[in-house]
Amino acid sequence: MIRIRVDGKSFGALKVLGRINLEIQAGERVALTGPSGIGKSTLLRIVAGLDQEFEGQITRPDGLAMVFQEPTLLPWRSALDNLKLVHPTLSTSQAGSMLSRVGLDDKKHVFPLQLSLGQQRRLSLARAFSGNPDLLIMDEPFASLDKGTARKMLALTQDLVKEHACSLLFVTHAVGEAEQLCSRTLTLTACPQGAQLSRCNDRRQ
């Protein structure tokens, strides 16, 4: 189970996040929406352990994977090596079948810059699932893709999440994506004391 308790997070004088309490059960899929700049990515970075300077406490499983807003691949290593170097326990055949699973069967030895953006995102997805994560965090993974590609990626992600039965924390702007992929949708709301998951006057949540 994932337990998120944030009492506050500020950048200097700017209060970004207020009180946030959130529990995600094993295998539960939660979507997080909210307007641009409200602090969704900040919250994700805290949950992922990338930002340790906040008040509160996060309990999360060891097996963690993240799909970033950009593919964030190693451009100087082949597609296959992008999986194997990040997950050293992965065998070549396992990495190969993971690439096949996301439709990159013939791209094993291709460098990321030779792939289309859609293919790069597939590779990034393959990397996330290669480690059999307990919790997958996705930060607007389908942004900047055309509609058709985004729909295919969404279906692929849905299948992979089901196969691996991992928990999911999914940030998106698109309500449709949230409803298709997740069982619960939460919205970050701007408040004077920082963004919250509920109405502003409710300080206890």
Partner 1 sequence: MDARFAPFLSLLALVLLWSVAALLTQDAQVLPTPWGLVPRFAEEAASGELARHLSITIFRVLWAFGLAMAFGVILGFVMGRHREINRWLDPWLVVFLNLPALVVIVLCYLWIGLTEAAAIIAVTLNKVPNVATVIREGARALDPKLDAMAQVYRMGTVARLRHVILPQLAPFIAAAARSGVAIIWKIVLVVEFLGRSSGIGFQIHLYFQLFDVGMVLVYSLSFIAVMLLVEWVVLQPWERKTNHWRTA
Does position 77 interact with partner 1 (CB under 8 A)? The reply is yes
Residue closer to partner 1 by CB (options 103, 131) is 131
Q: Binding partner 1 by CB under 8 A: which of 131, 149, 152, 174? A: 131
Residue closer to partner 1 by CB (options 19, 45) is 45
Residue 16, C-beta contacts closer than 8 angstroms, at least 6 positions apart: 9, 10, 39, 42, 194, 195
Phi and psi at residue 72, in whole multiples of 5°? Answer: 50, 55
What span, in angstroms and rounded, lies between the C-alpha atoms of 205 and 202?
6
Residue range at the interface with partner 1 (CB under 8 A); choices 17-25, 28-36, 83-91, 195-203 = 83-91
Q: Least distance (Å) from partner 1 to the CB of residue 19?
A: 25
Residue range at the interface with partner 1 (CB under 8 A); choices 25-33, 45-53, 148-156, 179-187 = 45-53
User: How many residues can be counted in the chain?
Assistant: 205
Does position 50 interact with partner 1 (CB under 8 A)? The reply is yes
**Contact criterion met (CB below 8 Å) for 15 and 58:** no
Does position 94 interact with partner 1 (CB under 8 A)? The reply is no
The count of residues interacting with partner 1 (CB under 8 A) is 24
Residue range at the interface with partner 1 (CB under 8 A); choices 6-14, 108-116, 148-156, 166-174 = 108-116
* E strands present in the chain: 2-11, 14-17, 20-24, 29-33, 55-59, 64-67, 135-139, 167-171, 184-187
